[in-house]
């Protein structure tokens, strides 16, 4: 595994390769990341993983500062996984140039997390646009847990006619049902139980809604979530995952999207 901390040295190295499979991360690596990396390694291209906690996608400085970081452990893990390249850029390395493509932000960016985290998706698309320009990957591996993010990156790539292809990978869950996330390290045992109960609540709710859409009652669901232990609820919505439009009938394909807090930790998921 070769480690790079500046884009020029990285670009010299990867120019020799036939293509790159790219797994972008903010570190704090977990089973979800490992699954993406293993998928990437099945491709015919060399695997490049990045670790960069992007300050521009945090709407609160306190959230950026408290984001879990474990670079030493991450490097050890990536060596074991035998990836080809690791890119750990500085802020200047990523933001010290003007990209050729302007960011395209689809209108669906105003929904869900976009509604509650002002500037979040602008920050995500900004950094991804820059990574794509630096690396020019053939494939980009993204998990479906952050489905809105995945959808918006895909729309940007399509709109700007970028040749990279997004590979959508299934959400990896812990044994208790919680979607794997770096933020889970901020939860204690009792809080993990709350997160697990909320996952199973939504899992059962989706089955019920499929039979009777009238059971999707906002006030009842809010009360249930507070009773289960959620400190604050940002949203819970049902959307068709192909076009991000709300469904109106039980027979339409949909996912439930939800975001909530347990104390100061914000968790998101979709099922």
What is the CATH number for 15? 3.40.50.620
Closest CA to 263 of 155, 178, 186: 186
91 and 202: one domain? no
**What domain range includes position 203?**
182-270
Structure tokens at 199: 């996952």
Residue 232 domain-assigned (yes or no): yes
pTM above 0.85, yes or no: yes
73 C-beta neighbours (distance < 10 Å), count: 12
216 and 82: one domain? no
Residue 161 domain-assigned (yes or no): yes
130 and 203: one domain? no
Residue of 30, 33, 120, 156 with catalytic role: 33
Residue 93 domain-assigned (yes or no): yes
Determine the pLDDT at residue 16.
84
Task: Point out the residues of the chain with pLDDT beneath 50.
Answer: none
137 and 196: one domain? no
Of 169, 196, 229, the position where a domain reaches its end is: 169
34 and 84: one domain? yes
Residue 176 domain-assigned (yes or no): no
Determine the pLDDT at residue 205.
96
Q: Interhelix angle for 120-135 vs 7-14, to 10°?
A: 50
155 and 27: one domain? yes
CA distances from 41 to 36, 47, 76, 204 (A): 9, 6, 17, 35
Report how many domains make up the chain: 2
Residue 50 domain-assigned (yes or no): yes
Residue 17 domain-assigned (yes or no): yes
Determine the pLDDT at residue 249.
77
Closest CA to 63 of 71, 54, 52: 54
Of 146, 169, 192, the position where a domain reaches its end is: 169
58 and 161: one domain? yes
Distance (Å, whole) CA 208 – CA 206? 5
Of 116, 146, 169, the position where a domain reaches its end is: 169
271 DSSP assignment: -
100 C-beta neighbours (distance < 10 Å), count: 8
Q: How many Å from the N-terminal Cα to the C-terminal Cα in the chain?
A: 35
- Has 120 been annotated as catalytic? no
49 and 162: one domain? yes
Distance (Å, whole) CA 12 – CA 7? 9
Residue 165 domain-assigned (yes or no): yes
202 and 262: one domain? yes
Specify whether the CB–CB gap between 193 and 75 falls below 8 A. Answer: no
162 and 190: one domain? no
Structure tokens at 248: 């109106």
Distance of CA 239 to the CA centre of its chain: 18
Report the b/e string of 153-162 with b at 16+ CB within 10 A: bbbbbeeeeb
Determine the pLDDT at residue 110.
96
Determine the pLDDT at residue 154.
97
147 and 42: one domain? yes
Closest CA to 270 of 190, 205, 192: 205
Specify whether the CB–CB gap between 113 and 76 falls below 8 A. Answer: no
202 and 140: one domain? no
Distance (Å, whole) CA 234 – CA 220? 15
């Amino acid at each position: 595994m070769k480690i790079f901390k500046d884009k020029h040295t990285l670009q010299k190295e990867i120019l020799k390769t036939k293509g790159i499979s790219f797994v972008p991360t903010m570190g704090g690596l977990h089973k979800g990341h490992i699954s993406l990396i293993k998928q990437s390694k099945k491709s015919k291209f060399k695997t490049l993983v990045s670790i960069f906690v992007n300050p521009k996608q945090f709407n609160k400085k306190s959230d950026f500062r408290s984001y879990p970081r474990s670079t030493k452990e991450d490097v050890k893990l990536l060596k074991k996984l035998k990836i080809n390249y690791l890119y750990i850029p500085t802020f200047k390395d990523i933001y010290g140039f003007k990209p050729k493509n302007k960011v395209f932000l689809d209108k669906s960016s105003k929904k869900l997390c976009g509604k509650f985290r002002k500037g979040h998706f602008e920050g995500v698309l900004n950094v991804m646009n820059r990574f794509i320009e630096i690396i020019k990957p053939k494939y980009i591996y993204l998990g479906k847990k952050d489905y809105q993010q995945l959808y918006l990156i895909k729309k940007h790539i399509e709109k700007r006619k970028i040749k990279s292809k997004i590979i959508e990978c299934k959400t990896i869950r812990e044994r208790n049902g919680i979607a794997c996330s770096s933020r889970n390290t901020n939860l204690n045992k009792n809080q993990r139980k709350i997160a697990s109960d909320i996952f199973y609540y939504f899992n059962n709710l989706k089955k019920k809604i499929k039979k009777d859409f009238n059971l999707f009652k906002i006030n009842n669901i809010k009360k249930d979530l507070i009773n289960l232990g959620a400190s604050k609820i940002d949203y819970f919505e049902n959307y068709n995952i192909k076009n991000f439009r709300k469904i109106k009938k039980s027979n339409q394909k949909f996912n439930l999207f939800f975001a909530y807090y347990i104390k100061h930790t914000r968790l998101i998921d979709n099922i």
